[in-house]
Amino acid sequence: MVKLFTKEYGLSNDQTIIFLHASGSSSRMWRHHVRALKEDFHCITVDLPGHGNSRNVEWTTFDEVIGQLVELIKDKAHGKPHLVGLSLGGSLILKLLEREAHLADRVIVDGASPQPIKGYRKVIALTYFLSFLKNTKLIAGLMTKMMQEDGVAEEDCRTFIADLQRTSRKSFRRAMSQANRLKVEGRFDNPAFFLSGGKESETMQESHRLLAQRNHQSEVAIYPDKGHAWLFSDVETHIQLLKHFLQGAAFPEKLRGI
């Protein structure tokens, strides 16, 4: 099986966290998290198929990518790893738990739904449109403006735009299409934290509440008045969430538990 590009930090630490990035991004989106957590955790960042330094590995199906992640866990994790995923990465965590929940410890699923959200066909259509224009100055300018207005730092805007432009068009389309069509039961016993922006789909937020009702070890929260991928604009709050859920630190003040 083709191996994905990974980087490891804090190799001497006992507990592993595996970070799974959003579509169009890369493992570089987690660099702030790694910097804050590598003294306490063995951190593994992954470039998913078609993204970052795995851009020459074609994205095929969710099942095949899950197989690659299972091999990664078996090869590199120190025991059962914690999993942290945003958007596409969160969807992969939900699918992995459906098949191989026994391989993971705690999980954080951010901006991902176990069922198609209302309007998912429009999202898929927009993804196809964006895939053809993503390398143009027009899209780079529009996305940079949108991200900066949301409070994203200039350096993080540049990193995301560069990652988006490097992403394989075909893999980008396939990954987003499959993620938006994902259907999983979500029956697992792993402690889980489900997270979304307050402006995200009500379908997603309701699905998170239902998943938490099935699993008494789960927590649910939203970031009020923020949309999808809010962590780019407030990475410190997201890091604080990880410290809360994995280390028992204080709950982030800006999040609202449900």
Any domain includes 1: no
**Domain count for the chain:** 1
- C-alpha dihedral, 39 to 41 to 42 to 45, nearest 10°: -100
* 95-116 per-position pLDDT tens digit: 999 999 999 999 999 999 999 9
Any domain includes 238: yes
Q: What CATH number is associated with residue 50?
A: 3.40.50.1820
- Cα-Cα-Cα-Cα dihedral sign, residues 154, 18, 229, 235: negative
Any domain includes 214: yes
Q: Is the pTM of this model over 0.85?
A: yes
User: Is it the case that residue 35 has pLDDT exceeding 70?
Assistant: yes
pLDDT averaged over the chain? 95
Domain that holds residue 248: 6-257
Beta bridge partner(s), residue 83: 18, 107
User: Is it the case that residue 181 has pLDDT exceeding 70?
Assistant: yes
